[in-house]
Structure 1
């Protein structure tokens, strides 16, 4: 499997884990308030990843820890903006919108996240898009619409506008996260989980909700760790390698995984809309996977710190004793280079066209 397919698989696995969260939430937490569910899911994500980071750090040698990727001061505003938009504003807007919006309408509106993510990436951050990628995005979004459409339930109400605003907040989050995606994905996801979990849990308690029993709380947090935490780590890695719009498109197939898992829990003959949606999403994925974007381009001088191998983009010396192990992490500088090869809008290819 080549690197582009690896990145696509990473994004799809993130979507599968996130999509599976919905039926699991219905099974485990049907009696809890929406803010309590969101709080426990996010908190489980943050705490679980924090434990993972601690274990990883204890297993590393002193030299390894000195070369760990650290978020730079200039990147902190991007990270805080992503946490505020996706971890605080997004869930709050969604929960407020759900209180006065039919479930079918909400499901339909949630497809806007992929659209908003791509539009911001293409228009604001000038991420490359060609006709094939655009058509793939359209196919995936149409699949989501078909999957969630129920005739006679759609409508534009204040609640629906709040759900759409939540999608906008998550789209901003996705694009801002891309700006820090070269850093440790576990750290980024952990910070998001801890902040979002604490905020949503506080809102739930202020609204009069009570913490569930230990067993239900543990189940919620474990579910959140997998469906939000591990999923977000994979999402950040995909952002690093694919860019925002393409990663967002792959992640938009999450609902099909949720419906498929629901059919496992509650067996029934899949509806026609399920198969139409599956075909449209498969078509969109196929269009994205077969993309080949290649042209002469120039890399400017770039200083950053991320896990890498000494490939054609990483030809540098070390100012420390190196044992030859790859991949490894340390601050490094990219010298200017002009060449031609197939590429995505990853952390090394953010040039204009």
Structure 2
């Protein structure tokens, strides 16, 4: 599949998940729906992973697993990103128009950047900071509700809380980012989905009709599972920056579908907030960060290409020339300057 098409389809599926989840909330309790959505995601991703392994074999398709030291980060990511975040989102979505909630999901990027800068030393340039400020301004416009505590809608607080939890999840996941992304997300989906489903049944959530359960599984499988699988395919062909650019359309897709399909209003405040957020996303994605930096010697194992300036190593095993592929490899010390992002090879101080 064309990588750009894969990225756009990933954004479309994820964007559609919010208005469809809004419709399901009329039939399924939020805690139970959170479990069903993530079970659908986990099952769908695991099926996709098994199908991919059957269709392709060889060293170039191997992906590294998890080490014992990485398990605490995985458990933390499952707890906050898989268990807590979807519950907050769905409780917030129940009291918030789907179009508003879709746009508020842009706050995940804000919280992710702020946590990364505060606790992991990632660089936060002026252009990024201005972009984040624009997104926050849009979020305030969407959330402002006179007569409520702090004049912020409780539903919007729930969506913002979900974004904060997913941001923490993103920063925990970055510690295990060299592992197989699809396997990681499948484990998170199955584990978190099981936990929330069991909790919902324990607290007495009513069992919905089978069509509603099936609908939740399908929305989870497509909106979270297939979306991630397509995102990974796009990453391999486009790289992180371009793929993120395409995927950043997802909240706006969700908002547009909610307005058109659910007949939700789109007044002046909504359009102004969306414009602020769109400007913020553009400022974020159009940043170009380059400076002279030094790489220390490093040995690790992750999926990589040989045309990125960091993986010009020889192989001590037969290699068919296909990339990306994964194997333990060593990076020699190097000092150079080029545009870069805070990926696994560029987590240096400034």
* TM-score bin (small chain): 0.7 to 0.9
Gap regions ≥5 residues in structure 2: none
* CA distance, structure 2, for counterparts of residue 116 and residue 57 of structure 1: 35
- Give RMSD over aligned pairs: 4.0
Which residue does the alignment assign to 1:81?
A: 76
* CA distance, structure 2, for counterparts of residue 219 and residue 61 of structure 1: 34
* CA distance, structure 2, for counterparts of residue 289 and residue 9 of structure 1: 19
1:234-257 residue CA offsets vs partner (Å, 9 max, x unmatched): 77899999999x999998875433
Deviation, structure 1 residue 120: 1.3
Which residue does the alignment assign to 2:317?
A: 320
* CA distance, structure 2, for counterparts of residue 105 and residue 276 of structure 1: 12
* CA distance, structure 1, for counterparts of residue 53 and residue 40 of structure 2: 20
| CA 146–240 in structure 1, closer or farther in 2 if over 3 Å, else same | farther
Cα pair 2:236 2:324 within 8 Å, conserved: no
1:37-80 residue CA offsets vs partner (Å, 9 max, x unmatched): 11110100001101111111222325456x33222332222111
Which residue does the alignment assign to 1:333?
A: 330
Deviation, structure 1 residue 270: 3.0
| CA 14–351 in structure 1, closer or farther in 2 if over 3 Å, else same | farther
Which residue does the alignment assign to 1:3?
A: none
| CA 105–221 in structure 1, closer or farther in 2 if over 3 Å, else same | closer
Aligned partner (choices 198, 217, 224) of residue 221 of structure 1: 217
Which residue does the alignment assign to 1:69?
A: 64
Cα pair 1:241 1:344 within 8 Å, conserved: no
Aligned partner (choices 287, 294, 300) of residue 298 of structure 1: 294
Aligned partner (choices 185, 201, 207) of residue 205 of structure 1: 201
* CA distance, structure 2, for counterparts of residue 226 and residue 135 of structure 1: 33
- SS state at 2:323 partner: coil
Aligned partner (choices 254, 267, 272) of residue 271 of structure 1: 267
Q: TM-score, normalised by structure 1?
A: 0.81
Aligned partner (choices 115, 122, 131) of residue 120 of structure 1: 115
Q: Does 1:134 align with 2:125?
A: no
* CA distance, structure 2, for counterparts of residue 136 and residue 276 of structure 1: 15
| CA 47–251 in structure 1, closer or farther in 2 if over 3 Å, else same | same
Aligned partner (choices 85, 88, 99) of residue 90 of structure 1: 85
* CA distance, structure 1, for counterparts of residue 133 and residue 6 of structure 2: 21
Which residue does the alignment assign to 2:139?
A: 144
- Greater shift, 20-29 or 127-136, is seen at 20-29
Deviation, structure 1 residue 260: 0.7
1:99-135 residue CA offsets vs partner (Å, 9 max, x unmatched): 9999999999877644432221001000111000111
* CA distance, structure 1, for counterparts of residue 91 and residue 275 of structure 2: 33
Q: Does 1:49 align with 2:45?
A: yes
* CA distance, structure 2, for counterparts of residue 104 and residue 340 of structure 1: 42
* CA distance, structure 2, for counterparts of residue 309 and residue 164 of structure 1: 36
| CA 242–86 in structure 1, closer or farther in 2 if over 3 Å, else same | farther
Cα pair 1:14 1:235 within 8 Å, conserved: yes
Cα pair 1:127 1:243 within 8 Å, conserved: no
Aligned partner (choices 333, 338, 342) of residue 339 of structure 2: 342
Cα pair 1:11 1:250 within 8 Å, conserved: yes
| CA 165–289 in structure 1, closer or farther in 2 if over 3 Å, else same | closer
* CA distance, structure 1, for counterparts of residue 137 and residue 343 of structure 2: 26
- Greater shift, 256-265 or 46-55, is seen at 256-265
| CA 178–45 in structure 1, closer or farther in 2 if over 3 Å, else same | same
- Greater shift, 255-264 or 147-156, is seen at 147-156
1:163-217 residue CA offsets vs partner (Å, 9 max, x unmatched): 7665543322110011112221111111111111001111111122243333322
* CA distance, structure 2, for counterparts of residue 102 and residue 285 of structure 1: 22
